[in-house]
């Protein structure tokens, strides 16, 4: 079974909601453990383009702000449900959700 690492950038105010969405969709299973994830603070950079409705910042202005990076894992078959759950809980117009294949020898 193929596994994926999940990386999500989210404002600190919404970390708990995003982590709960991840786990409710089945992410975070590692062996005999459930609800596994990690969170740390990062600095994000973005420039809202014309037509966007930014959660934070102004159209055309480069913004640098504190965010959190949430990481977890899931099976490939769970990825679509995880993505949908995270997007529903995430405040950004364009949520940054990366699914990266894991090498497991």
Average pLDDT, the chain: 96
Contact between 70 and 12 (Cβ < 8 Å): no
At residue 1, the pLDDT reads 72
Nearest to 52 by CA among 96, 93, 97: 93
Tens digit of each residue's pLDDT (9 = 90 or more) over 54-77:
999 999 999 999 999 999 999 999
| Coil, helix or strand at residue 57 | coil
In contact, 73 and 28? CB cutoff 8 Å: yes
pLDDT digit string, tens, across residues 33-58: 999 999 999 999 999 999 999 999 99
Which residues on adjacent β-strands are paired with residue 41? Answer: 68
Question: Looking at the predicted structure, is the pLDDT value of residue 95 above 90?
Answer: yes
């Amino acid at each position: 079974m193929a596994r994926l690492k999940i990386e999500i950038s989210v404002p600190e105010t919404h970390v708990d909601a995003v982590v709960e969405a991840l786990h409710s969709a089945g992410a975070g299973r590692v062996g005999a453990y459930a609800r596994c994830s990690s969170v740390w603070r990062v600095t994000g950079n973005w420039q809202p383009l014309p037509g966007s409705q930014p959660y934070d910042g102004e159209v055309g202005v480069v913004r640098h702000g504190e965010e959190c990076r949430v990481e977890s894992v899931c099976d490939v078959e769970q990825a679509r449900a995880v993505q949908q759950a995270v997007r529903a809980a995430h405040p950004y117009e364009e949520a940054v959700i990366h699914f990266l294949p894991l090498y497991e020898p």
